[in-house]
Amino acid sequence: MNIKKWISVTIFSLLLVAILGVLLRYKIAFSLPIVNQKYLQHSHSHFAMNGWLTQILMILLSYSVSKVIGANHFKKYNFILFANLLVSYGMVVSFLFQGYGGISILFSTLSILVFYFFGIQLWRDMNKSLLKLSGFIWFKAAIVFGILSSFGVGMLAYLMVTKNISINMQQATTYFYLHFQYNGWLIFACLGLLINLLTDRNIIIRNIKKFYWLYTGACVPAYFLSTLWLPMPTWLYVVVVISAITLLLGWIWFILQLLKQLPSFFHEIPDIAKWLLALSSLAFTIKVALQAGSTIPSINNMAFGYRPIVIGYLHLVFLGVITLFILGYMFYTGYLKSTKTLQIGIVFFITGIIMNELALMTQGITAMRYYNVPFISEVLLGVTSLMLLGVIIMNAGISKKSNHN
């Protein structure tokens, strides 16, 4: 399949993610006895990570590298992409019916092996490419962090199978996986794609390699931002604070450099791409600011002590930062064409994301004062349904265009 067909297939996977999200919210707000909530949660989160985010980034990274090697080189990735799609759908079904069990763990293990195979293939292609794109080093870091995150999955699966009741160990392992996924694999892959866009426009960001090394170096100790609730030596806490400040100041520096050349970067691209990339940048700014703020122990304890705030933060990253960037990137590059139907779907989707974040933060902040917001579960169901509606319209727009072609 070519890249546009792969994108259509993967946007459909985003639709399934949204459906599972609505079912989760419906079960919380009302009764749905036939569905196990924990199983549904595992199915939703694993498929969102592997069937949507990892799948689409595999497509975009492999195509970005293939373009500089040869016209037909991208076809060599079809097997890997099909394999990842297959194990992703295997996970969504198996987790839904058995949670962490033999079949779901098998599919999870296969997804890790597929990622390893993808990483090795992409790394080899980048090395043999005569033209070395600026984003290649970011892609390589993304692969390393993606592999590192898989160690967390292995440990978590082991804890589940052995029925280890250590809550601290389970949480620390979960955050290890999540950190090196969203702060490592996903963020570095997106930054690599962004750097390549800048290169295509002949936009030069001075000292970009220093920015890369600062971000790469800060990523590892930044994991401990998620475990500040555990006993920690003073020297490690200082390193964690420095890494958080480095990530915040580094991003501010990068944005200020980019703003100087924004007219060139936004020249003759669809308005929808501009809005999506701008909103993604704003969401990332909020993310790194929250990270820096979380180094204050009292704030960290409050944040990680209230589930709505944790869920809101993860949605901010996965939806607000990464998903909006991916959509903006695809409109920027022309892989998605800016049609009226797609624009309407995007507007509904973005509105749902913003309202979801506001509702979750309101729920978390009021919970700190031991106050339950009336009908908050119904509100969250409504805004999740709004996101689902947006994705349905997006899929309809893509399908309509494909039929016309």
Q: What is the pLDDT of residues 297-317, one digit of tens each?
A: 766 666 666 778 888 889 999
Predicted confidence at residue 116, as pLDDT, reads: 97
Predicted confidence at residue 146, as pLDDT, reads: 96
Predicted confidence at residue 368, as pLDDT, reads: 72
Binned at pLDDT 50, 70 and 90, residue 356 comes out as very high
Tokens 């705030």 — which residue? 309
Q: Is the pLDDT of residue 232 over 60?
A: yes
Predicted confidence at residue 345, as pLDDT, reads: 96
Tokens 């999506």 — which residue? 276
Amino acid identity, residue 206? Answer: R
Q: Is the pLDDT of residue 12 over 80?
A: yes
Binned at pLDDT 50, 70 and 90, residue 82 comes out as very high
Q: Chain-wide mean pLDDT for the chain?
A: 90
Q: Is the pLDDT of residue 2 over 80?
A: yes
The DSSP code sequence of 164-226 is ---HHHHHHHHHHHHHIIIIIIIHHHHHHHHHHHHHHTT---TTHHHHHHHHHHHHTGGGGGG
Predicted confidence at residue 400, as pLDDT, reads: 66
Mean pLDDT on 262-281: 92
Mean pLDDT on 153-157: 76
Q: What is the pLDDT of residues 31-67, one digit of tens each?
A: 788 889 899 999 999 999 999 999 999 999 999 999 9
Q: What is the pTM of this model?
A: 0.94
CA distances from 302 to 72, 209, 289, 309, 326 (A): 52, 36, 16, 9, 31
The DSSP code for 48 is I
Binned at pLDDT 50, 70 and 90, residue 388 comes out as very high
Q: Is the pLDDT of residue 244 over 80?
A: yes
The DSSP code for 73 is G
Mean pLDDT on 122-131: 91
Mean pLDDT on 118-127: 96
Cα separation, 328 vs 334, in Å, equals 10
Angle among Cα 154, 155, 158 to the nearest 5 degrees reads 90
Q: Which residues, other chains included, contact 264 with Cβ-Cβ below 8 Å and sequence gap of 6+? A: 201, 202, 203
Contacts of the segment 333-336: beta carbons below 8 A, 24+ positions apart: 333/197, 335/3, 335/4, 335/7, 336/7, 336/398
Q: Which of 89-98, 156-165, 248-257 shows the lowest per-residue confidence on average (mean pLDDT)?
A: 156-165
**Residues above pLDDT 70, as percent of the chain:** 96
Which is more confident, 268 or 193? Answer: 193
Q: Is the pLDDT of residue 254 over 70?
A: yes
Q: Is the pLDDT of residue 274 over 90?
A: yes
Cα separation, 397 vs 381, in Å, equals 24
CB 157 within 8 A of CB 108: yes
Q: What is the pLDDT of residues 362-376, one digit of tens each?
A: 888 887 777 788 888
Among the listed residues 267, 112, 141, 289, the one whose alpha carbon sits nearest the alpha carbon of residue 201 = 267
Predicted confidence at residue 299, as pLDDT, reads: 67
Predicted confidence at residue 164, as pLDDT, reads: 66
Q: Which two tokens stand for residue 313?
A: 């933060």
CB 309 within 8 A of CB 361: yes
